Amino acid sequence: MNNREYTIALAGNPNTGKSTLFNVLTGLRQHTGNWPGKTVVHAEGFFTYKDEQYRIIDLPGTYSLYSNSVDEEVARDFIIFAKPDVTLVVLDATALERNLNLALQVLEMTDRVIVCLNLMDEAKKKGIVIDIAKLSKKLGVPVVPLAARNKEGIEELLETIVRMVHGEIKTKPIVVSYSRAIEEKITKLLPLVKEIVGEEYPARWVALRLLDGDTSLLHALQHQPHHLLKGVPNYACHCSAKSI
């Protein structure tokens, strides 16, 4: 008997089908449409699968998590501080190169990631063939091909989620190697980061952010936004919520 509720976050570039997937999983009706920027109010929904409760958060779509904007900070803070049990990174299979950037960034932040390769039907139409197994091996996390709008691949995704929340999947996220100069600086910073920031945050990622001069992150780390641990950022809305 397990009464725990698991938290799932949906991250990804704008327009990759996050809200569509959110709707499929929760049965809600977030606004979807083919233009970047629709989801400005992110929503929270719930679903049950195999007798277990899940809470899922549709984060705003972002091109990166480097805190260039409020949206990016919201998404970043959620992943870092709320520590979702699973982060689904939704990628557009027809523009994988750009989309993978975000996945790589998320993989620096957490290892509980499932990569959802959405829009597979579009990719197929365009003759784009992706070696899923190889991609998964390279990234070090499960990769699930999806066509969210056609509800294809959902079952496999749910199964993967179940196995991940039960710790049955060992992930080994890819480590991006940076230029020699940057790697040296990371090495210098790591011990300090571990001492001051603590072990509960991904040290290598924090070091990188510091090198990049990301003061907003340090600020957030200092005043850990505790409300995030329980809830979603202030303007989240519940089941009946409708985003734009």
39 binds Mg ion (CB under 5 A): yes
Cα 49 to Cα 44: distance, rounded to the nearest angstrom: 16
DSSP letter assigned to residue 95: G
105 binds Mg ion (CB under 5 A): no
Residue 160's Cβ-count burial label (10 Å; 0-12, 13-18, 19+) is buried
55 binds ligand GDP (CB under 6 A): no
87 binds Mg ion (CB under 5 A): no
Shortest spacing between CB 237 and Mg ion, in angstroms: 13
Cα 144 to Cα 116: distance, rounded to the nearest angstrom: 5
Q: For ligand GDP, what does the binding mask look like between residues 99 and 118, x meaning CB under 6 A?
A: -------------------x
Given the rule CB under 8 A, which residues bind other proteins? 14-15, 29, 32-38, 40-41, 63-64, 66, 68-70, 94-98, 100-101, 104-105, 119, 122, 125-131, 134-135, 138-139, 149-150, 174, 176-179, 181-182, 185, 188-189, 192-193, 196-197, 207-208, 210-213, 215, 218, 221-222, 242-244
Lateral strand order in the sheet of 52-58 = 43-49, 52-58, 5-12, 86-92, 113-118, 143-145
DSSP letter assigned to residue 237: B
Token pair of 177 as six digits: 């190697």
Shortest spacing between CB 25 and Mg ion, in angstroms: 13
Shortest spacing between CB 143 and ligand GDP, in angstroms: 15
Cα 28 to Cα 92: distance, rounded to the nearest angstrom: 22
Closest CA to 5 of 42, 43, 41, 57: 57
Select from 14-22, 66-74, 104-112, 204-212 the region that touches ligand GDP (CB under 6 A).
14-22
Is residue 13 a contact partner of residue 98, using CB atoms and an 8 Å limit? yes
Among 19, 67, 105, 160, binds Mg ion (CB under 5 A): 19
Longest dimension (CA), the chain: 51
Q: Determine the 3-state secondary structure of 65 from DSSP.
A: coil
Is residue 52 a contact partner of residue 35, using CB atoms and an 8 Å limit? no
124 binds ligand GDP (CB under 6 A): no
62 binds ligand GDP (CB under 6 A): no
Shortest spacing between CB 215 and other proteins, in angstroms: 7
# chain residues binding ligand GDP, by CB under 6 A: 22
List residues binding Mg ion (CB under 5 A). Answer: 19, 39
List residues binding ligand GDP (CB under 6 A). Answer: 12, 14-20, 32-34, 38-39, 61, 118-119, 121-122, 147-150
